[in-house]
Amino acid sequence: MSFVPRGWLPSQRELENKTVMVTGASNGIGRAVALACARAGAEVLLTGRDETALEAVYDSIVSEGGKTPGLIPLDLRVTHDQPYEELAEELLGAGLAIDGLVHNAGVLGERRALSQTSPESWQEVLQVNITATFLLTRALMPLLERAPRASIVLTSSGVGRRGKAYWGAYAVSKFATEGYMQVLADELGSTSLIRVNSLNPGAVNTRMRRAAYPGEPPDTNPAPEALTDRWIYLLSDASASLHGATLNAQG
């Protein structure tokens, strides 16, 4: 059963007066979620490493009449905390609050047995998929605290809930994402109004899905645009009671 109430659809003002940061906003699910947030009235902070692709998302939002987004180049392979802290300083200095934080960026890594996974690939996947989530959230905490009731959405996966052969570091990083969500939710539950949930998109027709299943006809799965209501619901005040939940976008 869906966590979004039957018949719920975001209005054009659903995220009005909210600032939402989306990681990996250059492509796939992140791009679609960023565009949907802008259509729901949010000021979107677009982060990613592909600046040309981010600029195209920026242009789409502006040409649709959305609020002028922020464009923040950020490569999540960076392992030290400095760029994350610098970004937070800059946003704090600009007087911003962050009402929504969508940790969406992710890499698949090598699809092979753990014993054959290269240490370099293991480290990159863990870094981008979970360590950067920790570093960015840690740095942005003062901005999230500034919002009346901020919502953090972590992106999980089916293989982060039940391990599967040959999903290697990717699956492990998604288990870590679930663990991170539970620990953070428990901590915040007694100290803060910030809420956090994990969302498994299910199979979605993106570059990552096509790389993971090269033999699958791409249109077997929904386009990211067909699912964005789930993210808007989690970011909106309509889901104010959802905290610490493990959610599925499909099925």
Ligand X SMILES: NC(=O)c1ccc[n+]([C@@H]2O[C@H](COP(=O)([O-])OP(=O)(O)OC[C@H]3O[C@@H](n4cnc5c(N)ncnc54)[C@H](OP(=O)(O)O)[C@@H]3O)[C@@H](O)[C@H]2O)c1
Encoded tokens for 61? 């939002």
84 annotated active-site: no
DSSP string, 36-48: HHHHTT-EEEEEE
The answer to whether 104 and 29 are in contact (CB under 8 A) is yes
Nearer to ligand X, 26 or 151 (CB): 26
Nearer to ligand X, 16 or 59 (CB): 59
What sections of the chain are H helices per DSSP? 28-39, 51-63, 82-93, 119-126, 132-146, 168-191, 207-212, 228-235
Nearer to ligand X, 10 or 48 (CB): 48
The residue annotated as part of the active site, out of 58, 84, 170, 180, is 170
CA 239 to CA 121: how far, in whole Å? 36
Tell me how far, at minimum, the Cβ of 55 lies from ligand X, in Å: 12
Positions that interact with ligand X (CB under 6 A):
24, 26-30, 48-50, 53, 75-77, 104-107, 128, 155, 157, 200-201, 203-204, 206-209
Tell me how far, at minimum, the Cβ of 82 lies from ligand X, in Å: 16
Tell me how far, at minimum, the Cβ of 148 lies from ligand X, in Å: 27
CB atoms within 10 A of CB 202: 16
Active site residues: 170
